[in-house]
Amino acid sequence: MSDTWLTTLITDTPQAGFELAITLSRRAVKYTQPDEEARKRLRPVYSQDADSLIAVSQVVAINFQTIAAANNYWRK
């Protein structure tokens, strides 16, 4: 994947920042597993596994921390 899609971490609102965190997380999965069919095969497995869902939430939270720091959300 060589397309440039992330030009800034600055967002207008915390909600937009959270949505960017989700996008970052989803893109990381695509970079890690570029085979769409493999991702489709695995989705039913992890979508029913509590540990996998918690891990996904943790990744999004870490990405949101980065975006929040870039935007000084806690200072607004």
Report the pLDDT value the prediction gives residue 26, as an integer from 0 to 100. Answer: 97
At residue 68, does pLDDT exceed 60?
yes
Phi, psi of 53 (to 5 degrees): -65, -40
For the segment 49-57, the average pLDDT, to the nearest whole number, is 97
Q: How many CA atoms lie within 13 A of 21 on its CB side?
A: 22
Tell me the average pLDDT of the chain: 94
Report the pLDDT value the prediction gives residue 35, as an integer from 0 to 100. Answer: 98
Mind listing the pLDDT tens digit for each residue in 12-34? 999 999 999 999 999 999 999 99
* The Cα angle at residue 65 between residues 68 and 20, in degrees rounded to 5: 70
